[in-house]
Each structure stands twice: as C-alpha cells, then as structure tokens.
Amino acid sequence: MDSQRYLDCFASDFARLRTVAASAPDAEVPTCPPWTMTDLVRHVAQVYSHKAATMEHDARQPQPDLTGEDPPAALDRGYDKLLAQFGHRQPSDVTVTWFPPDQTVAFWIRRMAQETVIHRVDAELAAGVESAPIPRDLAVDGVDEVLERFLAFASHHFREDFAGALDDLTGQRVRVETGDSAWLVNLDSKVITLEAADGPADATVRADPETLLRWLWRRAAEDSVTTEGDQSAVDALYTVLKGATQ
C-alpha cells in the first residue's frame, strides 16, 4: 500500500468511527473492558494528539492529558493535527518512531490507518451495529504489521508487555495464511521471529484477510479461523498475541 491509500482508508475509518461513537456514547466496549464508548473516543483522541506532537517536535512526547475535555471535540482536534502533519511533510521525511528500522512520516501514516480501523471496529461492536467491511489490502497489510512489529519486534524490545507469556514458549512454528499471503511465526521463548513462509510448521491458521486481522487483534471469536496441525501451537500464538495487541 502507498501512503495515499493509507490516508484514504484513514479518512474513511475516522468518519465511520466518529459517526458510530456519537450514536452510543455510554455503550460498553466489549473488546476493551472496562471502557465505554466515551473512553474509546478519548483514547483515540489521545493517540492522535500524541503522534501529531511527536512529528511536530520530532522527539518523543509525554502523553497528553485530556481530562476535562470533551472527547469528541478532542478527537476532531487530534485528527486535524495529524492531517496537518501529514499534509505539509512528505512520507519519506525523517521523524522519530518507536520502530528503529522505519524512522519516517510514512510509519505514522500506516500506523494511524491501522489504529483507526481497529478502533472503528471496537466502536461498531459497542454500538451493536453492522460492521463496515475492512478493505482487503488494508487487512492484509494489518496482518503483516501485527506479526512483524507488534509480535516479533515487540517480543524483543517490549518483553515486559507480554506479562511472562513468552517464557512458556517452546519454539512452536505457526504458519499464518490469508489468500496468497503467508507468514511463518517461530514462537521462541527468547524472541519471536518471522521466517520464510514455506518452511516447516507445526500448525497453520487460515482465514480471509478481514477475519484474520480481527482474530489477531482479538476482535473476532477465537474459533473464527480455520486451524490445522498442533492446536497447542495455535493456542500458544493466541496467548502471546494478547500481550502484543493489548
């Protein structure tokens, strides 16, 4: 996906999130307990404002305190701030990120598109409305981001987020497949890695792109995917994903 495609998806999912959230501000968010919809909106507003400030100052920033602010208004301001940063800079421009291999504005464009589509799903689940489809290209890209950056990278650099779950891994190898795309996850207790997808695997997880993305982010039922092989290896992957996607 190129940056303009991410921005288009970002705009569409933000609009959907904003509309759905306004329809049920007090609804409980089943995928983010104990949040209400208002808490979800405040969280996304905080993320937007924080990332915009990070790019503006090209340095790590403290989390903004939105206490006492109207969450929908804060959400709109955060979104506008992000668009301002994305609008006057090139995707290739250098800026600080939490992922050392990619220190560019493009990193945040992709991350905000993926952040927004997942929280748009959260809002839909809270409001009890039919979920808008996740575009196939965005979903496949989201699967890649989860596995590469939130699972493999984070297992090395943010081990504490996994609350000890990594210690129980024994090198299980799980192939994750959707359409023509596949990833082989090596669940090593020292560090999770991605290997050549055609290598040997103990188990396979397979689903269409949207279902797989939702499953990885724990926004779909655990049995919504098709599995083959050693179920305990799949269970191990699902367990460590909780730390990666919290």
Model pLDDT for residues 20-40, shown as the tens digit of each residue: 999 999 999 999 999 999 999
Q: pLDDT tier at 2 (50, 70, 90 boundaries)?
A: very high
- Residue 199's nearest CA partner among 224, 175, 165 is 175
pTM: predicted TM-score of the whole model, two decimal places: 0.96
Model pLDDT for residues 72-129, shown as the tens digit of each residue: 999 999 999 999 999 999 999 999 999 999 999 999 999 999 999 999 999 999 999 9
Contacts 24+ apart (CB under 8 A), 3-6: 3/91, 3/106, 3/109, 3/110, 5/137, 6/109, 6/110, 6/112, 6/113, 6/138
Omega of the bond leading into 34 within 30 degrees of 0 (cis): yes
Give the integer Cα–Cα distance in Å for 41 and 23. Answer: 12
Amino acid identity for residue 162 in this structure: F
* Residues above pLDDT 90, as percent of the chain: 97
Sign of CA dihedral 211, 29, 8, 2: negative
**Which residues does 126 contact at the CB level (< 8 Å), separation at least 6?**
24, 27, 28, 29, 30, 36, 37, 40
Domains, the chain: 3-127 (1.20.120), 136-244 (3.30.1050.10)
Q: Can you give the pLDDT at residue 20?
A: 98
Give the integer Cα–Cα distance in Å for 225 and 220. Answer: 9
Q: Can you give the pLDDT at residue 43?
A: 97
Three-state secondary structure readout of 82-96:
HHHHHHHCCCCCECC
Q: Strand order in 203-206's β-sheet? A: 193-195, 181-187, 172-178, 203-206, 226-229
Q: pLDDT tier at 227 (50, 70, 90 boundaries)?
A: very high
How many residues are recorded in the chain?
246
Q: Considering the chain, what is the average pLDDT of its residues?
A: 97
Give the integer Cα–Cα distance in Å for 51 and 78. Answer: 9
Q: Can you give the pLDDT at residue 246?
A: 72
pLDDT at 207 over 90: yes
Give the integer Cα–Cα distance in Å for 183 and 145. Answer: 11
Give the integer Cα–Cα distance in Å for 230 and 52. Answer: 44
Average pLDDT over residues 159-168: 93
- Residue 155's nearest CA partner among 118, 51, 147, 230 is 147
